[in-house]
Amino acid sequence: MFTPERKFTDWQLTGFSNAPALLFETLESTHSLMKAKAAAGEIPPGTLIVADRQTAGRGRHERTWDSPASLNLYFNILIPLDGIPLSSAPQITQVAALTFAETFKSLQDESNAVNLGNKTIGKVSVKWPNDILCGKHKFCGILAEVVYTKSSDGSLRPNLSMGVGININSDPADYATIGRAVTTLKDICGQKINREKLLLVLIANLERAVGQFRAFGIRPWVSAWKRMDQFIGTRGTIVANNRCTDQNRDSGAGVQKKKGRIADMRDDGSLLFECDDGTTEVVYSADLEI
């Protein structure tokens, strides 16, 4: 995983079940292209789209995701939802976050074992609903949306277009203007990562995890999540605002913030949050600030 990587255009990748992988040296957004191609019926379920650079990368709620060339990973995978209720589709992002975090933690442990890792930054962990952090520094984000493709009989088939951005070989200083704690996998491990090899492992692990989710649902994943989540039991802030962006995060129309204690993650993947006003809320969709 720590070997030099070859030229981006020479990468050999596939999506789920050997579906095609489409590589682009520059794109506005892998997420936007995936939605367009899926809606037009131009790609099969399982397709992977990867960009070496994005000019308009976005995270949740249209927040900017810096996407410099030849340093990080920006990709979308079209996950077929056969056998998965649409109401359970958001839980797949939690399964993905945990699956990826376990992969990153193994790299961190491997680097620390040979005294190359950054031991001052903390441990790789997950944060509800689907963020991956090291200490309190974010380095991987996941964005997902249900899209439909046409089946051979003309019926519409639901899929989850999952977009992933991972800070790999950039430097934390590159994100100084964002205003949030950010790190990179290179900083965590103390050495450069072969992005092609890492992506091959991530896609293989994710496909296996989605198969397990299809069979057993989210419940078996919750206990594993709790073992890796270092924020349950600590204080946090729930931010509920679908129009919350980088620019209007604190003052945007409709913003609602509640401070309190992160009590637990429930068996359905929702968050149990004890508010400072004495109430307890079950939260299904929001941002969590720690």
Q: Which residue has the higher pLDDT, 146 or 175?
A: 146
pLDDT at position 127, please? 96
Is residue 243 predicted with pLDDT exceeding 60?
Answer: no
Question: Tens digits of per-residue pLDDT, 9-30?
Answer: 999 999 999 999 999 999 999 9
Would you mind telling me the total number of residues written for the chain in this entry? 290
pLDDT bracket for residue 57 (50, 70, 90): low
Question: Tens digits of per-residue pLDDT, 135-160?
Answer: 999 999 999 999 998 877 888 899 99
Angstrom distances, CA of residue 240 to CA of 250, 257, 272, 275: 11, 6, 15, 14
Q: Which residue has the higher pLDDT, 244 or 25?
A: 25
pLDDT at position 224, please? 95
Q: Which residue has the higher pLDDT, 255 or 23?
A: 23
Residue with tokens 């056969």: 82
Strands 156-166 and 73-80: antiparallel
pLDDT bracket for residue 259 (50, 70, 90): very high
Strands 131-134 and 271-275: unpaired
pLDDT at position 60, please? 53
pLDDT bracket for residue 133 (50, 70, 90): very high
Task: Give the global pTM.
Answer: 0.92
Task: Name, of 58-62, 69-73, 94-98, 251-255, the range with top average pLDDT.
Answer: 94-98
Structural domains of the chain sorted by starting position, each given as residue range(s) with its CATH number in brackets: 8-227 (3.30.930.10), 231-289 (2.30.30.100)
pLDDT bracket for residue 258 (50, 70, 90): very high
283, two tokens:
């939260």
Question: Tens digits of per-residue pLDDT, 196-210?
Answer: 999 999 999 999 999
The CB density around residue 85, as the number of other CB atoms within 10 Å, is 10
Q: Which residue has the higher pLDDT, 165 or 180?
A: 165
Is residue 254 predicted with pLDDT exceeding 70?
Answer: no
Burial of 156 (0-12, 13-18, 19+ CB in 10 A): exposed
- Quote the mean pLDDT of the chain: 91
pLDDT at position 97, please? 97
